[in-house]
């Protein structure tokens, strides 16, 4: 059978023909396209002319485009639609791709050409984007071992291969543990407090497995509302402990040894390259610049948030004791008690609120918001394939011109990891428009009602769509600088700023309508949402900061001294927690952001970007949330520019000044 991965796709917009792509196509295609790319690089290095930007950097950028496309396909499917066979293929592909990257980065002839261009090219004849690409490529080679001796280069290759495989294994273990557990309830009285949609979902889950009663899982749409509403404290404890044990049980999926290996190998890699730690290596190419600056940032926020958090905790304890008969609040009580307190304080019932946010309606409203801001239109094209029957594919037009493909995938299923994320199947560069995907895990429609989103899920959708806009509106010449290819602590700005529209009356009026009566959300309910946005901001901030501290501690100079994952975790975050930490729970073994994703030594960037987004949105509030000039400036200076210039340069061009750190505290009600 002809392998479709060996050539450009002859489909509308060169969209992936998923039904024609078989698991067995990936490895032969990756091997062959790697061989082709290496041959192209060999020819590039043989050129007799003196190295120049055009005959070196431009040619290098064009090499290996099919490898990038095919590996994106493989690893995106491995996250959203995996199975045992695909996981094995991903494990086999990871070292091949790592070796290919090293074959490029450690190619001495290629590096010498790039170094010559870096030292000799007349920068006045290059565009700012070309200068940025040249500096990024040169640094990329140096940071990936180009200046090492042959023995050290070989060592680096081995380290990178091991790290790629360990990261995949970590994710497989976490997925396996998440899916292995179910809470089977057979007595109806045990469902007390649970919303009807959740009960209906659980009934359907049980029927699928041929069982009587109700089945709850560790997937977010099942786990989070159960922990928030179940009146059965013992069942909350049971489910909470199962969630906290993922990757930390005495089974084949235990991630503790993998974490210690990853931490050790990352440190070894950093020192081999001349850095004190993996954090030093990572943060050199971040807005924060150094572990010391990150620590200072975390400490400053902790100092500001702790008094508010302590006050909020005392209020929670008092409420739990006086209203719910809880003498001590445990980990499995916090969501439940917090929800009861919030209902009392704001008279805001999340279950009533959900009725205004049916998924399809929210998606249409989101499209309307970005149409008002950026002149985008979204047209479903059923003839373009998704990778699963539930995936919708949209053609995206800007002012009538085709701009991108957008894949949306909203519901949990076996073979799909938890959480929400944006990714791309094809990045943008000159002459090629991007193919972008957003993946979430929202509650499925039931027999009696559509998929209704919690307000937090609405903000999650807007968040991921912000990332998608960064990808779809990219307008650069080189894919290496396109879309989300920016400093990691800048990448969350486009996503987090989009969440702000969820709190604005003029935006909510577009889509927040009762799924039965079609009544627009009442203004008094919007006021409650705004007030509730400040609810427990101190506690929520400390929680995020604790993850930032933990992440940094796994990657600082002392990382290799860690002997035991749980003990280390406890030492890092106990002072920022108010509940006792169950001995058989471990957050680190499920911390996929840093051990499977790209946030190692970078988890702080969520809070860092919140400062940027709070400051940036103040301009929208000042000028009007749909002000065309402000939106156009954000598009032209941030969304379309990718990583073509330093992020602070881009930000100042949009905002007119550096971000004000107090903007975040003002929005959170902490000052």
Within its chain, how far is the Cα of 355 from the centroid?
Answer: 27
Catalytic entry in 395, 464, 492, 610: 464
In a domain, 108, yes or no: yes
- Global pTM reads 0.87
pLDDT band of residue 597 (cuts 50, 70, 90) is confident
Distance CA 341, CA 324 (A): 10
The reply to whether 18 and 106 lie within a common domain is: yes
Of 244, 259, 280, which closes a domain?
244
Of 147, 166, 193, which closes a domain?
147
What is the CB-side half-sphere exposure of residue 176 using CA atoms within 13 A? 18
Residues 6+ apart with CB under 8 A from 171: 79, 417, 592, 596
pLDDT band of residue 344 (cuts 50, 70, 90) is very high
Q: Given a cut of 80, is residue 487 above it in pLDDT?
A: yes
Where helices occur in 59-149 by DSSP H, the ranges are: 59-62, 65-80, 84-105, 108-120, 128-143
Residues 6+ apart with CB under 8 A from 348: 342, 525, 528, 529, 532
What is the CB-side half-sphere exposure of residue 331 using CA atoms within 13 A? 19
Q: Given a cut of 90, is residue 671 above it in pLDDT?
A: no
The pLDDT score that the predictor gives to residue 349 is: 86
The reply to whether 195 and 66 lie within a common domain is: no
Q: Given a cut of 90, is residue 668 above it in pLDDT?
A: no
Pairing of strands 435-439, 401-409: parallel
pLDDT band of residue 649 (cuts 50, 70, 90) is very high
> Which among 264, 267, 297, 287 is positioned nearest to 279, based on CA atoms?
267
DSSP string spanning 9-31? --SGGG---GGG--GGGHHHHHH
The reply to whether 210 and 121 lie within a common domain is: no
Distance CA 467, CA 606 (A): 13
Distance CA 60, CA 43 (A): 11
Q: How many other CB atoms sit within 10 Å of the CB of residue 208?
A: 9
Structural tokens at position 114: 């790039």
Residues 6+ apart with CB under 8 A from 611: 659, 660, 661, 663, 664
In a domain, 50, yes or no: yes
The reply to whether 14 and 136 lie within a common domain is: yes
What is the CB-side half-sphere exposure of residue 140 using CA atoms within 13 A? 16
Structural tokens at position 371: 């149409």
In a domain, 124, yes or no: yes
Of 147, 165, 195, which closes a domain?
147
In a domain, 22, yes or no: yes
pLDDT over 90, % of the chain: 93
Once rounded to an integer, what is the mean pLDDT over residues 449-453?
95
**Could you give the angle at the alpha carbon of 490 between the alpha carbons of 484 and 496, nearest 5°?**
90
Structural domain for 206, as ranges: 181-244
The reply to whether 24 and 118 lie within a common domain is: yes
Q: How far is CA 26 from CA 89, 104, 367, 435, in A?
A: 7, 21, 35, 19
In a domain, 564, yes or no: no
Distance CA 221, CA 203 (A): 14
Question: What tens digit of pLDDT does each residue of 559-570 get?
Answer: 999 999 999 999
Q: Given a cut of 80, is residue 256 above it in pLDDT?
A: yes
The answer to whether 664 and 610 have CB atoms below 8 angstroms apart is: yes
The reply to whether 91 and 189 lie within a common domain is: no
The pLDDT score that the predictor gives to residue 182 is: 97
The reply to whether 38 and 110 lie within a common domain is: yes
Question: What tens digit of pLDDT does each residue of 373-406 get?
Answer: 999 999 999 999 999 999 999 999 999 999 999 9
In a domain, 164, yes or no: no
CATH number at residue 12: 1.20.1050.40
Q: Given a cut of 70, is residue 1 above it in pLDDT?
A: no
pLDDT band of residue 665 (cuts 50, 70, 90) is confident
The reply to whether 218 and 114 lie within a common domain is: no
In a domain, 43, yes or no: yes
Residue 638: exposure state from Cβ atoms within 10 A (0-12, 13-18, ≥19): buried
The reply to whether 142 and 47 lie within a common domain is: yes
In a domain, 196, yes or no: yes
pLDDT over 70, % of the chain: 100
Once rounded to an integer, what is the mean pLDDT over residues 83-103?
94
Q: How many domains are contained in the chain?
A: 2
The pLDDT score that the predictor gives to residue 481 is: 97
Residues 6+ apart with CB under 8 A from 511: 357, 361, 362, 364, 365, 366, 368
Q: Between these two residues, 396 and 220, which has the higher pLDDT value?
A: 396
Q: Which run of H or E residues covers position 377?
A: strand 376-380
Distance CA 610, CA 661 (A): 9
The pLDDT score that the predictor gives to residue 441 is: 94
The reply to whether 205 and 71 lie within a common domain is: no
Catalytic residue flag (residue 464) = yes
Q: How far is CA 107 from CA 233, 393, 520, in A?
A: 60, 40, 61
The reply to whether 102 and 196 lie within a common domain is: no
Task: Name the 3-class secondary structure at 266.
Answer: helix
The reply to whether 219 and 125 lie within a common domain is: no
Within its chain, how far is the Cα of 25 from the centroid?
Answer: 28
């Amino acid at each position: 059978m002809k392998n479709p991965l060996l050539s450009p796709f002859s489909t509308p917009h060169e969209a992936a023909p998923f039904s024609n792509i078989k698991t067995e196509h990936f490895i032969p295609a990756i091997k062959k396209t790697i061989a082709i790319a290496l041959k192209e690089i060999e020819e590039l290095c043989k050129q007799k002319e003196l190295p120049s930007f055009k005959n070196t950097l431009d040619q290098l950028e064009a090499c290996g485009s099919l490898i990038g496309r095919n590996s994106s396909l493989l690893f995106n499917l491995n996250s959203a639609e995996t199975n045992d066979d695909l996981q094995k293929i991903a494990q086999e592909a990871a070292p091949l791709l790592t070796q290919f990257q090293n074959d490029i980065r450690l190619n001495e002839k290629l590096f010498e050409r790039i170094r010559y261009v870096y030292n000799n090219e007349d920068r006045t004849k290059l565009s700012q984007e070309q200068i940025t690409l040249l500096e990024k490529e040169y640094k990329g080679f140096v940071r990936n071992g180009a200046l090492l001796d042959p023995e050290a280069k070989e060592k680096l290759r081995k380290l990178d291969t091991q790290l790629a495989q360990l990261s995949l294994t970590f994710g497989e273990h976490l997925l396996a543990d998440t899916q292995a557990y179910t809470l089977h309830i057979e007595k109806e009285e045990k469902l007390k407090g649970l919303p009807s949609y959740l009960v209906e979902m659980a009934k359907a889950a049980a029927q699928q497995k041929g069982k009587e009663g109700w089945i709850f899982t560790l997937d977010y749409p099942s786990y989070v509302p159960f922990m928030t509403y179940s009146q059965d404290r013992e069942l909350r404890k049971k489910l909470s402990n199962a969630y906290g044990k993922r990757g930390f049980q005495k089974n084949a999926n235990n991630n503790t040894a993998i974490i210690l290996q990853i931490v050790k190998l990352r440190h070894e890699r950093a020192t081999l390259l001349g850095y004190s730690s993996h954090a030093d290596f990572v943060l050199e190419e971040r807005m924060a610049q150094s572990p010391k600056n990150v620590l200072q940032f975390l400490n400053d926020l902790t100092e500001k948030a702790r008094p508010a958090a302590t006050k909020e905790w005392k209020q929670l304890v008092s409420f739990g004791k006086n209203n719910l008969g809880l003498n001590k609040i445990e980990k499995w009580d916090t969501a439940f008690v917090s929800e009861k307190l919030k209902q009392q304080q704001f008279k805001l019932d999340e279950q009533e609120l959900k009725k205004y946010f049916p998924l399809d309606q929210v998606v249409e409203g989101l499209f309307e918001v970005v149409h008002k801001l950026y002149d985008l239109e979204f047209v479903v094209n059923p003839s373009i394939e998704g990778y699963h029957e539930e995936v919708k594919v949209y053609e995206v037009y800007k002012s009538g011109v085709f701009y991108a493909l957008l894949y949306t995938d909203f519901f949990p299923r076996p073979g799909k990891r938890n959480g929400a994320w944006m990714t791309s199947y094809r990045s943008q560069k000159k002459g090629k428009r991007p193919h972008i995907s957003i993946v979430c895990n929202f509650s499925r429609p039931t027999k009696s009602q559509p998929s209704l989103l919690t307000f937090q899920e609405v903000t999650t959708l807007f968040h991921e769509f912000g990332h998608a806009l960064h990808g779809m509106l990219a307008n650069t010449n080189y894919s290496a600088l396109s879309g989300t290819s920016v400093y990691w602590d800048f990448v969350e700005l486009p996503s987090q700023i989009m969440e702000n529209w969820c709190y604005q009356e003029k935006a909510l009026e577009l889509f927040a309508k009762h799924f039965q009566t079609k009544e627009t959300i009442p203004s008094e309910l919007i006021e409650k949402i705004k007030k509730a946005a400040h609810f427990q901001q101190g506690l929520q901030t400390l929680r995020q900061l604790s993850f930032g501290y933990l992440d940094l501690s796994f990657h600082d100079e002392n990382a290799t001294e860690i002997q035991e994952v749980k003990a280390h975790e406890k030492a890092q975050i106990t002072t920022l927690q108010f509940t006792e930490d169950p001995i058989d729970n471990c957050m680190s073994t499920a911390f996929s952001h840093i051990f499977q994703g790209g946030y190692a030594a970078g988890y702080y960037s969520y809070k860092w970007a919140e400062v940027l987004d709070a400051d940036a949105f103040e301009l929208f509030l000042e000028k009007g949330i749909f002000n065309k000039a402000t939106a156009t400036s954000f598009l032209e200076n941030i969304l379309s520019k990718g990583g073509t210039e330093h992020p602070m340069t881009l930000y100042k061009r949009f905002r007119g000044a550096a971000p004000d750190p107090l903007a975040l505290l003002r929005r959170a009600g902490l000052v």
